[in-house]
Amino acid sequence: MPFLWLRTWRLGVKSLLLHPLRSLLTVLGIFIGVASVVWLLAIGEGISRKTQEQIEGLGATNIIIRSIKPSEESIENVGSSRSIVPYGITRADFDRLITTVPTIDRALPIREVRYRFGYLGRNIEGRLVGCTPEYAEVNQLEVDRGRFLSDTDDHKKWNHCVLAAGTAEKLFPFENPIGRAIRIEQAFYLVVGVMKERTPTAGIGGSLTAQEFNNDVYIPIRTLWSRIGDIIVTRRTGSFEGEMIELSQVTLRVDKVENVLKTAALVKETLKLHHRKQDYAVTVPLELLKQAKTTRLMFIVFMGLIAAISLVVGGIGIMNIMLATVTERTREIGIRRALGAKRGDITRQFLVETVALSVVGGATGVLGGLTCRPLIGALRGAMQRAAPDVFEQLPEVIREVTPIVVPWSIPLAFGISVTIGVIFGLYPAIRAAAMDPIEALRHE
């Protein structure tokens, strides 16, 4: 029996090699289908993994409250000139939340202001961040030199600051910034630390914008409240425009993961009681993470269906080729039947040929699918070198996302290719076996 199968395989491969171009085109259809399954699932997994990493970076037990400037229609004006508009999260909100919500384990107040920083004639614009020592841990910032802000800096309202990597490089290109004093508006702040470079975070939803950490300056939040205050005024010819904001963001850390959603609901209700305008937004990373995982499954199914269409098209190509082959080899079939071949032998011969085409196409398709990551990386690098301006304008997902080959997609795609080969090759094989030997011998 093994010898019979071996002889059948040899005969089937020999028959396929008699028409190399036809066989190659059939294999190509299966190759494209299998490679498409692996590629599309790898790209989808890469996009999904990037999104989940961004959300996980916010912390699964965190609740983030951001101050949002209300729409122009909801801002009341006084007289002909604009009044100073107060909005956003207040210190009273912060105190109220940490004293009334028992499941809050820790709370981090943050105040952000766009400012101009200077040192010995070098001036840059960046983000001035008033924060507490926990800010570095929550945002995964690492100290490069010196130290981060301490509780003493905050309680004593000292004019100490910590520079982000980009800020330090621009203000101090040739010297160590530790121990130097930079100018922020009309005051000087002693540099006590420099942070390592931090990858920017992408915007998540409409309530949390993208953040660039490398051009920041960090000072104690009590120092910011004392030296700079809550009012920001923009002066124009004949008028001024101002806004008053006490806290740009509050990050709440909940004691247990299972309490996050209940705490978030309580926080929303508490804020709703004390804010007439929708001047804040609550982001719950745990909710976003669950949504991202659900979206990932939907995305994988959708991508898989699209790729499966390519495999079906390849299967139809196999059936078409095998039907044509049966017609061409009608006389051969008649001779084999006349010499004693049974219907099962004829069916087995043609089925072996379709399986051979499917296996070769599936194996080469898997190898082609594994080239997804290096090939996309090479294409991305070539485009960046050839057209850097165009490359920078591309969406972040194209510039940064790396495909991740899903391990189970390889046996899945290969198994589907062989199954489709068997299914679509079965009918031509049965049709060939069902031929009347006498009529087959008469065929010209």
Name which of 240-244, 249-253, 271-275 the model is least confident about.
240-244
Instruction: Tell me the C-alpha to C-alpha distance, in Å, between residue 269 and each of 60, 205, 256, 259.
Output: 21, 21, 20, 16
The pTM of the full predicted model, rounded to 2 decimals, is 0.59
pLDDT attached to residue 257 = 76
pLDDT category of residue 388 using cuts at 50, 70 and 90? confident
Residue 231 pairs in a beta bridge with 244
pLDDT value for 404: 83
Residue 431 has pLDDT above 80, yes or no: no
CA 75/CA 73 separation, integer angstroms? 6
Helix or strand holding residue 194 (H, E) = strand 187-195
User: Between 39 and 442, where is the model more confident?
Assistant: 39
Taking residues 226-233, report their average pLDDT: 83
Tokens (6 digits) for 113 = 């202001």
SS3 at position 234 = strand
Lowest mean per-residue pLDDT among 123-127, 156-160, 439-443: 439-443
pLDDT for 79 equals: 43
**In degrees to the nearest 10, what's the CA dihedral of 129, 133, 139, 143?**
100
Reported as a pLDDT band with limits 50, 70 and 90, residue 247 is very high
Q: Is 17 left (phi over 0), alpha (psi -120 to 50) or beta?
A: alpha
Query: Does 35 have pLDDT greater than 70?
Result: yes
Average pLDDT over residues 400-414: 82
Category of 293 on φ-ψ map: left (φ > 0), alpha (ψ -120 to 50) or beta: alpha
In percent, how much of the chain has pLDDT > 70? Answer: 80
The pLDDT assigned to 78 comes to: 43
Which whole-number Å values give the CA distances from 36 to 167, 370, 371, in the listed order? Answer: 45, 11, 12
* Chain mean pLDDT for the chain: 80
Over residues 18-42, the mean pLDDT reads 81
341/406: higher pLDDT = 406
Helix (H) or strand (E) run with residue 288 in it: helix 285-328
Task: With a cut of 80, say whether residue 324 has pLDDT above it.
Answer: no
Gap between the Cα atoms of 220 and 279, Å rounded: 25
Residue 207 pLDDT: 47
Compare 432 and 83 and report the one with higher pLDDT.
432
What order of strands is seen across the sheet that includes strand 84-86?
84-86, 239-244, 231-236
| Cα separation values, 167 from 127, 164, 187, 443, Å | 10, 5, 17, 85
pLDDT band at 390 (very low <50, low <70, confident <90, very high): confident
* HEC profile of 63-129: EEEEECCCCHHHCCCECCECCEEECCECHHHHHHHHHHCCCEEEEEEEEEEEEEEEECCEEEEEEEE
pLDDT band at residue 243 under the 50/70/90 scheme: confident
Cβ neighbours of 161 (radius 10 Å): 27
pLDDT given for residue 80 in this prediction: 41
- Tokens in use for 225? 């409240």
Per-residue pLDDT at 143 exceeds 90? yes
Task: Give me the pLDDT at residue 217, please.
Answer: 95
Long-range contacts of 147-152 (CB under 8 A, 24+ apart): 147/192, 147/193, 148/193, 148/195, 148/218, 149/192, 149/193, 149/218, 149/219, 149/220
What does the block give as tokens for 369?
């699918």
Q: Which of these ranges, 219-223, 258-262, 396-400, has the smallest mean pLDDT? A: 396-400
**Count of H-run helices and E-run strands, the chain:** 16, 13
Segment 165-183 mean pLDDT: 92
The more confidently predicted of residues 163 and 71 is: 163
DSSP letter at 435? S
- The band of 210, judged by pLDDT with boundaries at 50, 70 and 90, is low
Q: Please list, in sequence order, all residues whose beta carbon lies within 8 angstroms of the beta carbon of residue 45, skipping any fewer than 6 positions away.
A: 296, 300, 403, 404, 405, 406
Instruction: Please give the pLDDT value at position 25.
Output: 80
Percent of the chain whose predicted confidence (pLDDT) is above 90 = 19
Rounded mean pLDDT, 359-377: 87
Tell me the CA end-to-end span of the chain in Å, nearest whole number.
Answer: 34
Mind listing the pLDDT tens digit for each residue in 296-319?
777 777 776 776 777 777 777 777
**What count of other Cβ atoms lies within 10 Å of the Cβ of residue 145?**
16
Beta strand 122-131 pairing with 104-119: antiparallel
What tokens does 185 get? 């508006």
| Residue 303: burial class (beta carbons within 10 Å; 0-12, 13-18, 19+) | buried
Which pLDDT score is estimated for 441?
63
pLDDT tops 80 at residue 263: yes
How confident is the model at residue 81, as a pLDDT? 44
Instruction: Please give the Cα distance from 311 to 34 (Å, whole number).
Output: 7
Backbone angles phi, psi at 77, to 5 degrees: -100, 155
The residue among 441, 404, 399, 417 whose CA lies nearest residue 355 is 417
Query: Within 13 Å of residue 189, how many CA atoms lie on the same side as its CB?
Result: 29
Q: Does 59 have pLDDT greater than 80?
A: no
3-state SS track over 133-179: CCHHHHCCCCEEEECCCCHHHHHCCCCEEEECHHHHHHHCCCCCCCC
Res. 73: pLDDT tops 60: no
